[in-house]
Chains A and B, each alone.
Chain A
Amino acid sequence: MEILRVENLTKIYGKDAAQVVALDHVSFSVEKGEFVAIVGESGSGKSTLLHLIGGVDRPTDGKVFIDGKDIFSFDDDKLAIFRRRQVGLIYQFYNLIPILNVEENIMLPLSLDNRTVDKETLDNLLKMLGLDNRRTHLPNELSGGQQQRTSIGRALVTNPTLILADEPTGNLDSKSSDEIVALLKKSNKELGQTIIMITHNPEIAKIADRVIKIEDGRIAREVSL
């Protein structure tokens, strides 16, 4: 089942001489349960693509369908609500709230919706993340890997249709990187979670079902593994 379709997505920054075409008529689609890796040179437009898919930015042209819905037909608020229910975002810098503890950071998207999860689900999630004995710690009491796992937990907690990760291991040592990748792979395999992940690391790209290579804002090559 097709869960994401990108049609002619174009993003142009700036005007006239200073104009930068970050994305140039990109089209592709992703099936439910797929693990897609996006690779490419620095500045090729990967993050731009991901932000557009996640609906945190709006394109110059083109469309994004998630679960069959044209997300840019929504107004900002509707898009925000759609995002918190359907999309999980993971960044290179974990973007946790320093004064909330692990559990609270993870619960944040639900609480925006005035929802909670039962204790068991939360316990399972924390166990899977390997954070069950860190649940009341504050971000600055955690290692980088633990902080990133927290932000993955925050992305997973809503059971999103789609997880978008922008270089989630970019800031970590190889051991922590492996843990994070394993965790993503696990949620993909066991929970059937659809994941799109940007990475610079070819080793990490290999674990994906499919690799999309971006060059100068265009899809250069698609490799299914």
Chain B
Amino acid sequence: MSLLNKLTVKNLKLNKKRTIVTIVGIMLSVALITAVASVYASGLQSLINYEMNEKGASHVVFYNMPLAEVKTLENNRSVDTINLTENLGYASVDSKNKDKPYICLKGFTKGSLENLSVKLVDGRLPENDTEILIPTHLKTNGRVTLAVGDEVTFDVGKRVTVEGVELNQQDPFQWQGADEGETPAEHIAETVSRTYTVVGLIERPATNIEPYFASGYTVITRVDESEMSGNADVYVRFTKSGVKNAYKFTANMLGIDDKLFTRVYRGETLTDEELLRLSDEVGKAKYNFDFNSHLITLETDPLGISAVTTLAYAVMIVIAIIVVTSVFCIKNSFDISITEKIRQYGMLRSIGATKKQIRKNVFFEATLLGAFGVPLGIVLGFLASYILIIVSNLLIADSFALGFSLSFVFSWTAVLAAVLLGIVTIYFSAFRSAVKAAKVTPLDSVRNSANIQVKSKKLSSPKIIKRLFGMGGEISYKNLKRNRSKYRTTVISIVVSVVVFISLSAFMSMAFDEVDREIERTDYNISVSATYADSEEYQKLLDTVSLDYVQDFSVVRTAEIEFIGNHYNKEYSDWIQLMPDENGPQYISVASVGDKQFAKYCASLGLDPIKMENKAILCDYTTVKKYDESSNKTDKKYMRVFDFKNKDTVIGLTENALTENKINAQVEIAAVSENKPFGLKNWSSPFLFVSDETFNGMAETTYVNIYYKTDNSDKLQDEIEVQLNEMNYNLNNIDERFRQMNNLYTLIGIFLYGFIIVISLIGVTNIFNTITTNMELRKPEFAMLRSVGMTNREFNRMIRLESLFMGTRALVFGIPIGILLSYAIYHFLTEESGDPYKLPALAILIAVAAVFVLISLIMAYSMGKIKKQNTIETIRNENI
């Protein structure tokens, strides 16, 4: 190593603390970049994993391909793996779904069982061709009761149309003529009886195995590739390079023109003429096929997915913020290091060092610091992202019912990005210092005064300072003024941290407030909605309200009454500038809530439920929003929608959505109320509430909403699930949802606070370096002050005052900007809700405390170091 570089190393070692702190700054910056890049990469990979788990790892499926053709595919260089499944035929089962009256027996090879989306719920995979897997929807949808361990015999044959054309899973069930659901136009022929043992239960297979419209429930048995005959469904996974040409490759396989085909799958819009040509081409295709386009896009061009693009933009913005902040902070450390060495550089220049050598020397220093900081940062960043992903999974575990979870992947791209951006950061940080150092002239060393540029501008401190704080106060005030540019970076770093902290805290508390408000808005914990087929099912639904843990409930059925004439409230139609048609139809909802709840509701209004036959309680108060284009503001007003009064009668028709059956409806209004029955608090449309009996007389429906109030929603959910076991229903656990929302916000909080803390820490490294160095540089001044008799107490007071001045300065800027920003966030996020702006008082308090504690600590630390030093030593060293 050349002496010059050795000199740098020695200097770095000499200023060990500053060196370490600068390395820490670099490390944190790189770690942050690595963590962001790694989380992004992991997220992307998780999406791919999710997609593979959902639809299998294959990119495209060719249905019913002759085995001879498969051979040519196998040898293609673009193809990574091929999995085959054999169509063994259909068998009729006693299914309740009339469009799905069969099971479709498929033979899967070992590879297919592993690589396609076969998700075992119970039991095990089949090991030979007498064992089968059955899907869960065979029971839930088809109501065919088969269980693991059962032995079953199917009459397996071909699906053929009346014309004798063979059908498969890509063809929906065929009906005769236009009258769907009447006479089948197909049947199963050439049946052979086969007996199987059910060994496992699987989730409904992905659509590339069983399309939504398929007419048979997929039942899977095991076959060996060598025993296959005839045609097979071929699931193709391309190689890394092959997948880029997946569409072209497929078009060639199908024997059709690849240009339009590729374009349409890339998401381009085609002209009508082109579309026509394309459908013509596809019609000529040799096989039916199905792409996993999501997987292809994710693997080849993830930015083609808009959510990913948004995420990528966010990542880029965050990284830009990190780089800019880091450059700003790390730059200062270099600046300090170079300023301290001005004399040394001057001397080197006087003995003949070139500018280039000096510049190189500064960059060498930067390289050394980077050589430590960057690798450490990368390790730390991956560690952090690993932990973040684990924590995220814990928090979001059940938010995504579909089994999405983040998985950590080590990404070389992230490493590369971190290294490159780290180098860029360090380079930009060192650049100005290098230029500055190279500008030092030999004379600067001779004159011995380069770094003390006394500004002739008169420094006067306000009298109040002297009166309040004495001589020490005046000196510290003048010092801050004189070293303004040196302290400016410190002050700006603090301001940035304070601003970001206050506004982020405000954002987080608004988010959590939002959850609280949502909780207030809903008065139930669980809701179940279901379409019931018959009174037996309806009864089952009704029975759930007598389960344990249920404290209150309503069973809500609704219908819409269409009536003629204008009954809109004038205020309402004026407000939304509606011109009602006197003869046109208008609509109002009618609802029953169950006898028990209705009785309670009547009682609360002072009505007798017994006397409510064909009578209704009108609830049409609502908050109506209006957007005003000219002022770009949304106004809202609480008012009634209709002008019906007590004793008025509403006469109209209700319609059964399924049968289109119309029924006459007539109710008399017994009361107008602002309050709705339990469970309907957040329904905003106008309602006529009637008793069950009245409702039955005027409307038909097969849809019901049940709202439960409970103190143990998880238990209740379990019980309901057991009770409704074989039915189709939708359960919404509000408590759970709020828990998930809270978790989600907590997660966002962890990300945001983690980010701001690390950014602040980078700022702290800068503040630390500035303050300690300035204290160091003022050693002679301190020595002088002591020699003229300043006591220890006065001295300490002076230092404390400096901390106070500096902190105050930073907060004077930081707090107002922070408040302004938090107001802006409030304005964009929640002003709609009408809640008043809340000053982020706690965040401000924390910021104030943190700033003073931080500055005092650093000051005290560097003072401790200085006090230990011998005054004579100080003076002597100055003269070398």
Contact = CB atoms under 8 A, between A and B. Distances in A.
Interface of A: 47, 51, 54, 56-57, 76-77, 80-85, 87, 89, 91, 93-100, 104, 107-109, 111-114, 139-140, 147, 154, 166
B352 A80 contact: yes
Given A56-B349, A57-B443, A77-B354, A111 B880 contact: no
Interface stretch (B1-9, B105-113, B597-605): B1-9
A80 B354 CA distance: 5
Task: Choose among B344, B354, B877 the residue with the greatest number of A CB atoms under 10 Å from its CB.
Answer: B354
Nearest to A107: B3
Interface residues of B, number: 31
A32 to B, nearest CB: 21
Contact of B354 (A81, A95, A166): A81
Contact of A147 (B344, B351, B448, B880): B880
B877 A98 contact: yes
A85 B352 CA distance: 8
A214 to B, nearest CB: 18
B3 A104 contact: yes
Interface centre among B3, B11, B441 (most CB of A within 10 A): B3
26 contacts: A47-B446, A51-B446, A54-B350, A54-B442, A56-B446, A76-B355, A77-B355, A80-B349, A80-B355, A83-B350, A85-B352, A87-B352, A93-B879, A94-B880, A95-B347, A95-B350, A95-B446, A97-B344, A97-B347, A99-B7, A99-B11, A112-B3, A112-B348, A112-B357, A114-B2, A140-B876
B447 to A, nearest CB: 10
Contacts of B356: 77
B417 interface: no
B879 A109 contact: no
A91 B443 CA distance: 11
A80 B10 contact: no
A84 B352 contact: yes
Contacts of B443: 51, 56-57
A57 B352 CA distance: 13
Interface of chain A: mostly helix, strand, loop or mixed = helix
B385 interface: no
A56 B7 contact: no
Contacts of A76: 354-355
B694 interface: no
Contacts of A84: 351-353
Contacts of A56: 349-350, 441-443, 446
B468 interface: no
A51 B350 CA distance: 10
A154 B351 CA distance: 9
Given A57-B443, A80-B354, A112-B351, A96 B880 contact: yes
B445 interface: yes
Given A93-B879, A140-B876, A112 B353 contact: yes
B14 interface: yes
Given A100-B10, A140-B880, A111 B2 contact: yes
Interface in B801-858: none
A114 B441 CA distance: 22
Given A56-B349, A89-B350, A95-B445, 15 more contacts: A47-B446, A57-B441, A57-B443, A80-B353, A83-B352, A95-B343, A97-B7, A97-B344, A98-B877, A99-B14, A104-B3, A109-B352, A111-B2, A139-B880, A140-B876
Contacts of A99: 7, 10-11, 14
Nearest to B446: A91
- Nearest 7 Cβ contacts at the A-B interface: A84-B352, A111-B3, A56-B442, A83-B352, A77-B354, A80-B354, A109-B351
